[in-house]
Amino acid sequence: MLDTTLIARVQVILDKFDAALAAGDLDAAVGMFAPDCYWRDLVAFTWNIKTMEGRDQVRDMLAHCLVHVKPHNWKIAEGETPTEAGGVAESWISFETEVARGYGLIRLQNDQIWTLLTTMAELKGHEEKAGFSRPLGARHGVNPGSKTWKELRDEEVEELGFKTQPYALVIGGGQGGIALGARLRQLGVPTIIVEKNARAGDSWRNRYKSLCLHDPVWYDHLPYIDFPKNWPVFSPKDKIGDWLEMYTKVMELNYWTNTMAKRASWDDARKEWTIVVERDGKEITLRPKQLVFATGMSAKPNMPKIKGMETFKGEQHHSSRHPGSGGYKGKKVVVIGSNNSAHDICAALYEAGIDVTMVQRSTTHIVRSDSLMATLGDLYSERAVRSGMTTAKADLIFASLPYRILNQFQKPVYDKIRQDDAAFYAGLEKAGFRLDFGDDDSGLFMKYLRRGSGYYIDVGASQLIIDGKIKLFTGQVEEITPNGVKLDNGKELPADVIVYATGYSSMNGFVADLVSPEMADKVGKVWGLGSNTTKDPGPWEGEQRNMWKPTQQEGLWFHGGNLHQSRHYSQFLSLQLKARHESIPTQVYGLQTVHHKA
């Protein structure tokens, strides 16, 4: 039964907010927020990805943005009904600005705004050609000299990058580049994606053979095309590779394989990039207005420099180059590291009958896959789908929780996991494994967002450690000897093969390599919240540094993350690029200050 009183109450608040904003009455508008409030804006107001915390920050944003944003028509979103629980009323909302239509989620405490999410859904006059406005695909009737779809598509492929220039160049053809390319294609922004591998999806296919996604299929859809209903819950790497290759063809992406970006420079007078790429052995110069690094947060291997590495008589390589278990029969393998890759590689080696040892250098957060899936169940699961939850709504609900307080929601979840899986954790500790749940015990998601070191979503390797089937030693690596690995406790581990599962360096490093170290320093650190926790130094940024939003270098962007992030944030980056393509004014509020170099 509809709660008409709640519906009316929420709409009255939205009407009052609408009137205050329309009148430019900052006192009235800010007074509608609770003292402890959060407004997360994805492009709609700030042309940025920005969270305002507290009334003072809300006031400052409105003082800068209100005059040109001109928000209006705030209402409960069509077809939606507000809910209330635990003293918090919640409602999906819609609104408009001068140039866009918006969608969001509001939470009210005591009829004051506690959290507000505002997102740009589409640009007026530049909507995606989808649904009722989808292209016909054919011209019926008699049309002398007209070209078929294939002829037009072939013409585009032949000319873009040669006779015509792309507006945007995306470097990196993994899930991030592909998702963004699909969004830009739908918006009519001429885009080329360059990928060094021979085929789309090879960035997945070329990894160690046991690699699979550790998060469930419902969390991992790409824009526009969901995985089939019979797709496995945990996707094997080669299936993901095939899916990405199919997706690039179906979405008609201008996807250049066997293409390496070699050097780039920015022309401030012309407001464009000059980028030299090598495609199939031939150099081509491109001049896009926008350059997007979609090189992946896990694409630049962090190969440590350890005393004695050059003396090692066996084979040594980074986990990103690990070929799998074949060829290692009868050899002793030492894996340095205790992250996801380290566990996967150790498990696969053990299953192949190979003597394998893991070296754990620092504490590691472990969460069982089943336990993690239970935490996602309300948003990303078959149960959620059947209850009417869409991927888009799930993404927005997740996005509506400000990072400042997200740990408060996560800590009780992981406290329960630690209690429910107590025997599992006790077994790991008995085996000598050093556990953590993040700096504030808030678990996996916060550790991932803060870029904290060492976590593993357990899909079986932990039990092998508990049972002693994967040998475990803890400590720092002091030296690589000709025949093994020496730890700081004096223990020497014999090895024929060493795998360095030592993670990856900042995406910023790609800017230093392709453009210049000076530009990398100008842009600053990529990823992390500034939470002042392990590996995430302050000051507090409140959003992922430099991701999916304007940077200190005009025309330079970063995009990527896991499949969820690639899908969700590609919408907001594509709208920022489309606006610039159409010369729509984009007054950016709250551009990130550079505190840390790459």
How far, rounded to the nearest angstrom, does the alpha carbon of residue 327 sit from its chain's CA centroid?
35
Which residues is 277 bridged to in the sheet? 261, 284
What does 558-595 look like in DSSP terms, one character per residue? E---SHHHHHHHHHHHHHHHHHHHTT------SPPP--
Q: What is the pLDDT of residue 301?
A: 85
- CA angle 345/349/350 to nearest 5° reads 120
Q: What is the pLDDT of residue 306?
A: 96
Q: Is 566 left (phi over 0), alpha (psi -120 to 50) or beta?
A: alpha
Which residues is 463 bridged to in the sheet? none
Give the DSSP H/E element, type plus range, for residue 285: strand 282-286
Is residue 277 within 8 Å of residue 268, measured between CB atoms? Answer: no
Domain ranges of the chain: 4-123, 150-299+506-581, 309-500
- Residues 194 and 279: their CA atoms lie apart, in Å, by 9
Which CATH number is associated with domain 309-500?
Answer: 3.50.50.60
Q: Point out the residues of the chain with pLDDT beneath 50.
A: none
- Residues 187 and 184: their CA atoms lie apart, in Å, by 5
Structure tokens at 324: 């799998």
Q: What is the pLDDT of residue 134?
A: 85
Q: What is the pLDDT of residue 297?
A: 63
Q: What is the pLDDT of residue 540?
A: 93
Tell me which residue of 93, 86, 71 sits closest to 10, measured CA to CA.
Answer: 93
Q: Is 492 left (phi over 0), alpha (psi -120 to 50) or beta?
A: beta
Is residue 162 within 8 Å of residue 169, measured between CB atoms? Answer: no
Environment class of 331 (CB within 10 Å of its CB; exposed 0-12, middle 13-18, buried 19+): middle
Tell me which residue of 451, 492, 454 sits closest to 473, measured CA to CA.
Answer: 492
- 309-500: same fold as 150-299+506-581? yes
| Torsions phi, psi for 164 (to 5 deg) | -125, 155
Q: Three-state DSSP class for 82?
A: coil
Which CATH number is associated with domain 4-123?
Answer: 3.10.450.50
Helix and strand tally (H, E) in the chain? 18, 25
Is residue 250 within 8 Å of residue 128, measured between CB atoms? Answer: no
How far, rounded to the nearest angstrom, does the alpha carbon of residue 140 sit from its chain's CA centroid?
43
Q: What is the pLDDT of residue 302?
A: 87
Residue 266: which residues within 8 A CB-CB, separation 6 or more?
Answer: 272, 273, 515, 519, 553, 554, 555, 556
Please report, for residues 116, 183, 390, 488, 575, the alpha-carbon distance to residue 570 in angstroms, rounded to integers and kept in the order given.
21, 7, 17, 45, 8
Q: Three-state DSSP class for 494?
A: strand
* R_g over Cα of the chain: 25
Q: What is the pLDDT of residue 214?
A: 87
What is the end-to-end Cα distance of the chain in Å, rounded? 55
Which CATH number is associated with domain 150-299+506-581?
Answer: 3.50.50.60
pTM over 0.75: yes
- Residues 469 and 4: their CA atoms lie apart, in Å, by 61
